[in-house]
Amino acid sequence: MGVMRMVVVDVGNTSTGVGLCENGRVSRVGHVKGGIEKEPGRCAEALREAAHDKDVCGVVLGSVVPSVNAAWAQLVQRELGACRLLTVDATLPMDVTVDYPDPESIGADRLADACGGVRRYGAPLIVADFGTALTFDVVTPDRRYVGGVITPGLPLMTDYLYERTALLPRVVLEGPCPELGRSTQQAMRIGAQIGYRGIVREIVAYLSASQSCTFTLVATGGYADWALKDSGMAFTFDPDLTLFGLGCIGEKSWA
């Protein structure tokens, strides 16, 4: 089989990632905050930049916002011409076996994280994806995707405090964590970063005990690096894992 090049698109609730997946490597990655509804021009630019006059075999779309899938199909046709579009769901051939009561309800990003994680790191595996929601996806030693955990993501927690209180500010989720909150911003930043580590530790411990095995831990998503920095937890940070996983699913379908 020759070189397989795909444009991969990860449509999230607050932002969209676009990249080129070529022989297991992700490049030309762009992120568009607001996605195609708010920034159609920037999404078109990201699509063109990812393809970059390459001979791509198709576009793999992983979306957790079904209402925009038709808009993405139109954009792909307009920008890339007669290009195949694969919309990810649990019925496609994958690197994992989906062992789940309602497979149609699994988000495409979670399937991509599991497939990309197994391809790069093997199994058993837990992938923590730090996005609008924080998701944990579990792959057993025999490479079955069996589900996981969903909890509110960092931006949901901090934005809710800002939106639902009179005096608390919007927290900037970056920079070092102070030893003590000497301002409202600092106090909230400690609560976000240190408190979130507690959530992650407890969920990983719970999943590990329930499955009776030692998992490889992988983290991805926009807030993973900041949330886990200096935490001492044995996570491997892989920022492009979801896009890579979409490419893995595309390979299985188009091989």
- Whether 170 and 183 have beta carbons less than 8 Å apart is answered as no
Phi-psi region of 250 (alpha: psi -120 to 50; beta: other; left: phi over 0): alpha
Name residue 145's beta-bridge partners: 98, 139
Around 241, how many Cα atoms within 13 Å sit in the side-chain half-sphere? 31
Select from 128, 101, 122, 111 the least CA-distant residue to 203: 128
Contacts of 126 (CB under 8 A, 6+ apart): 136, 137, 138, 139, 148, 204, 207, 208, 215, 216, 217, 218
Judge whether 109 counts as a catalytic residue: yes
The pairing of strands 216-220 and 235-237 is parallel
3-state secondary structure at position 101: coil
Residue tagged active-site, from 10, 55, 89, 109: 109
Output the CA torsion 186→160→191→233 (10° steps).
-120
Beginning with the edge strand found earlier in the chain, give each strand of the sheet holding 144-152 in spatial order: 97-98, 144-152, 133-139, 125-130, 216-220, 235-237
CA-CA distance, 236 to 121, in Å (whole number)? Answer: 10
Name residue 150's beta-bridge partners: 135
Question: Which positions are annotated as active-site residues?
Answer: 109
